[in-house]
């Protein structure tokens, strides 16, 4: 029965994604499902640039992204702001407002998120389920992989892609609430986030929400599955 409802939810999600599709890059579809349209163009241009950055600087990881990500969707996701759904190869994220950093860092930050989520796809394709026993190890590995990509960018151009901003320290406390919350608590949290996104002013919603006060590296650690 659970598998039936999972498939049903996937079909409903895909229907919504197709209605909100705004672009496609190498077979990876982009969809915008935020209530306001202010962030639509910023999302499209940012993710196109992020995918281009991965393709140019790391073809091996880009091949992995193409294999395991069919949709990248700008929408209100879980409390960490990003998640991966294996059944439909979908990476959902809330475009982050990093106005305090350069556009290069902004694009690279989202490229790192995509690498992280694609790593979830690699693991699930190998039959490694995201269950309670190993989920900490899975997230640690995904953070490690995104940091390897960030380090590669920094070696290429340390001024445009400073590793101190792109590196993410692993801390399982960022995932604890999502792992331990009840379904009712998750629904309430989602509704709160959805309403906050709905009420966001255009000048902040234009790039996905209020700026993160602690910079890129700290916010990056808490924005995955």
Domain ranges of the chain: 2-221
Phi, psi of 23 (to 5 degrees): 175, 175
CB of 168 within 8 A of CB of 112? yes
Phi, psi of 27 (to 5 degrees): 85, 0
The CATH number assigned to the domain with range 2-221 reads: 1.10.390
Alpha helix stretches (DSSP H) within the chain: 2-19, 40-57, 59-68, 103-125, 135-156, 163-166, 173-180, 183-199, 202-205, 216-221
Per-residue pLDDT of the chain (225 residues; tens, 9 = 90+): 667 767 888 899 999 999 999 999 999 999 999 876 678 898 999 999 999 999 999 999 999 999 999 999 998 876 677 889 999 999 998 887 666 788 999 999 999 999 999 999 999 999 998 988 999 999 999 999 999 999 999 999 999 999 999 999 998 888 887 888 888 888 888 888 878 777 775 544 333 333 332 334 333 444 445
Tokens 């950093």 belong to residue? 101
Q: What is the pTM of this model?
A: 0.84
């Amino acid at each position: 029965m659970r598998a039936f409802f999972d498939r049903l939810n996937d079909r409903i999600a895909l229907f919504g994604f197709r209605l909100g599709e705004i672009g496609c890059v190498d077979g990876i579809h982009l969809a915008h499902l935020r209530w306001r349209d202010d962030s639509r163009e910023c999302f499209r241009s940012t993710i196109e640039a992020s995918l281009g950055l991965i393709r140019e600087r790391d073809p091996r990881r880009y091949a992995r992204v193409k294999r395991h990500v069919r949709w990248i969707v700008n929408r209100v996701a879980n409390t960490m702001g990003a998640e991966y759904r294996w059944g439909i190869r979908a990476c959902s994220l809330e475009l982050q407002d990093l106005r305090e950093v350069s556009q290069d860092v902004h694009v690279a930050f989202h490229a790192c998120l995509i690498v992280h989520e694609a790593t979830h796809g690699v693991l699930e394709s190998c039959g490694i389920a995201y269950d309670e026993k190993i989920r900490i190890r899975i997230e640690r590995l995904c953070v490690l992989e995104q940091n390897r990509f960030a380090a590669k960018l920094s070696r290429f151009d340390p001024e445009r892609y400073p590793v101190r901003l792109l590196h993410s320290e692993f801390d399982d406390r960022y995932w604890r609430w999502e792992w331990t919350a009840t379904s009712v608590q998750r629904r309430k949290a989602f509704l709160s986030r959805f309403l906050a996104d709905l009420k966001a002013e255009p000048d902040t919603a234009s790039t996905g929400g209020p700026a993160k006060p602690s910079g890129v590296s700290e916010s990056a650690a808490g924005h995955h599955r």
